[in-house]
Chains A and B, each alone.
Chain A
């Protein structure tokens, strides 16, 4: 029997939900029938709106999908303006202030505290510059990820930007693919870095070459079924298909139609294509694609470039990100800037967009490591650009502990999270920077902090993986983390080994300090990467390397932040919540 969500989707889903949203925007929060809340909030996701957690009723997270994280300075400025005007809540965040934008690990933008009454005005502003919230969440084609500097990167095989634009145009707002069993995440990589992180996507196009009829053809190998959620991580598997760039839309259409028709619509926990891949295996996946969904003969896989991949690969010979100054193929430069856990104040977003425009940049990039790139900086302008005050905060050369930090949304807004994340990761990063010497030769160290098993911060593919948990300390329930080590992508993708469980959150910085001390003492040589060091050891050895420890680090969020209506409010109790509110932010009378 189809799940309840499937029945709601059958009644209304996709494009048609827009008109309903516009009606609710006009009539206000109260116009959404109370006994239809669950159904409507599920449908709103298709238009990028996610109802915030308990205690924050009537407020939404809004996601804007930017294909490959690629934007113009004008678009970035508009995001900043929208954040300033509409994304302000009843209480400021102590680290990030009143209004801010979050850059996500799938190269999208998230704004919080959005009221349904403002949707029409926000869409008008966003759509006037070519931005959209369509299919940013929900069961359909999500934002396509890849390198934002495609076509500019001096280190690539194929410029995939025109292909990604074609896929985006083809599969956004397309009724044939609007209602899938679950989300559908696609990555396309054309560079030699592996920056699309295709291994953790449902469908991945990886750069490859193949000799066909005596001619070497550039294109993609096709992998299917990656994903990290629900303690069921999978790397996408090779289905032995080579795809020419001109066939990418056909193969993508075939694979997403296969998922639409064969994916599990009865059990949402079993719906992602990774589970169909578990059941079928790559051979059957290929044969069903060939026989039922593609009308030309699929070539077998070509020669990939995996041995060159260094993005988030934990290599000691190269940085695994885009931070810093890089050559463009046209002789100019792109500059990767660090953004603290992917969150930037609305004011800085606007200033950065203006600055990029002043320097003649035509491209802003959002990366999967929650950072931001400004493209097209001429050699003669580079020194001036690097001297800009804004780069003191958003540095092209941040401390490795700051540079490598990623965090998801956490209990601040998210229903699923077990623990507070972003503000805590900021505090971890600062404490580590100020108190822990980096082992010699380590200038890149990735710590990914995720609030729960949904794995939005991609915890399984980091040097240190932190996943939200609870434990008891002196009898009291406290927020904690399971700790994994040694994950990463690259030539041989590996998931972290979970070696230390339920470490109280205030003892995690001490654990990391102890661990790095052990690493420096025990590693083979200063050239050995942390990832290689971990790979050499079994689980017991890894567990014995270090223990959690209280230090001078103080954690203000150790209690149960999920019990609060907002963790940083003066009165955090659920009863103190002003939600739900009307369009002006005034509390609505309760039914009691």
Chain B
């Protein structure tokens, strides 16, 4: 089944298959990133700028701020969670665990 993902309400949240799944306002720990100079960024999610499925994964570029150093901007692609192919249920990652943003190997929007 195709996963339908949207960022809605000015990037306030991410919808996966028409269900609200990921919100702004959580703190995410980012490692091996180039968002700021902190080894482990403590990143406040302020808005979802772009969102796309990548296979079963749901990924997004996220606007926000590192609350340790104050740097603000938009992250590289972050995995928000994965859609279980058996049940179609979205299983979010745990924001407080450590995440590694990376470049996508596929286009966000098919040509």
> Count of A residues near B, CB < 8 Å?
37
Please give me the residue from chain B that is nearest to A592 by CB atom: B89
State whether the Cβ of B9 lies closer than 8 Å to any Cβ in chain A: yes
CA distance A57 to B24 in the complex (A): 17
Please state if A472 and B20 are interface contacts (CB–CB under 8 Å): no
State whether the Cβ of A471 lies closer than 8 Å to any Cβ in chain B: yes
State whether the Cβ of B59 lies closer than 8 Å to any Cβ in chain A: no
Residue-wise, chain B 1-30 has the 8 Å CB interface mask toward A (1 for contact) of 000101011111101011110011111000
Please state if A418 and B17 are interface contacts (CB–CB under 8 Å): no
- Residues of B66-97 at the interface with A, using a CB-CB cut-off of 8 Å, are 67, 70, 72
Please state if B23 and A472 are interface contacts (CB–CB under 8 Å): no
Q: Nearest chain A CB to B26's CB is how many angstroms away?
A: 8
CA distance A501 to B10 in the complex (A): 23
Please state if A269 and B67 are interface contacts (CB–CB under 8 Å): no
CB within 8 Å for A562 and B67 given contacts A35-B18, A38-B6: no
Please give me the residue from chain B that is nearest to A229 by CB atom: B10
CB within 8 Å for A415 and B17 given contacts A38-B8, A472-B67: no
Please state if B25 and A418 are interface contacts (CB–CB under 8 Å): yes
- Residues of A477-504 at the interface with B, using a CB-CB cut-off of 8 Å, are 477, 501-502
CA distance A37 to B44 in the complex (A): 27
Please state if B46 and A452 are interface contacts (CB–CB under 8 Å): yes
Residues in A neighbouring B4, C-beta threshold 8 A: 35
Q: Which of A229, A452, A454, A502 contacts B67 (CB 8 A)?
A: A502
State whether the Cβ of B99 lies closer than 8 Å to any Cβ in chain A: no
State whether the Cβ of A312 lies closer than 8 Å to any Cβ in chain B: no
Please state if B13 and A54 are interface contacts (CB–CB under 8 Å): yes
CA distance A568 to B47 in the complex (A): 25
State whether the Cβ of B109 lies closer than 8 Å to any Cβ in chain A: yes
CA distance A229 to B11 in the complex (A): 12
Residues in B neighbouring A34, C-beta threshold 8 A: 18-19
Residues in A neighbouring B46, C-beta threshold 8 A: 418, 452-453
Please state if B15 and A415 are interface contacts (CB–CB under 8 Å): no
Please state if A469 and B17 are interface contacts (CB–CB under 8 Å): no
Residues in A neighbouring B6, C-beta threshold 8 A: 4, 38
CA distance A34 to B70 in the complex (A): 40
State whether the Cβ of B98 lies closer than 8 Å to any Cβ in chain A: no
State whether the Cβ of A470 lies closer than 8 Å to any Cβ in chain B: yes
- Residues of A92-144 at the interface with B, using a CB-CB cut-off of 8 Å, are none
Pick the 5 closest A-B CB pairs, nearest first. Answer: A415-B12, A416-B12, A562-B25, A37-B18, A418-B25
| Interface residues in chain A, defined as those with a beta carbon under 8 Å from any beta carbon in chain B | 1, 4-5, 34-38, 41-42, 53-54, 57, 229-231, 268-269, 411, 414-419, 452-454, 469-472, 477, 501-502, 560, 562
CB-defined A-B contacts under 8 Å, sample of 29: A1-B109, A4-B6, A36-B18, A37-B15, A38-B6, A38-B15, A38-B18, A54-B13, A229-B10, A268-B10, A411-B25, A415-B9, A415-B12, A415-B13, A416-B11, A416-B12, A416-B47, A418-B24, A452-B46, A453-B46, A453-B47, A454-B10, A469-B44, A470-B27, A470-B67, A502-B70, A560-B26, A562-B24, A562-B25
Known: A38-B15, A415-B12, A469-B67. 12 other contacts (CB 8 A): A37-B15, A38-B8, A53-B23, A230-B10, A416-B10, A416-B24, A418-B46, A470-B25, A470-B27, A470-B44, A502-B67, A562-B23
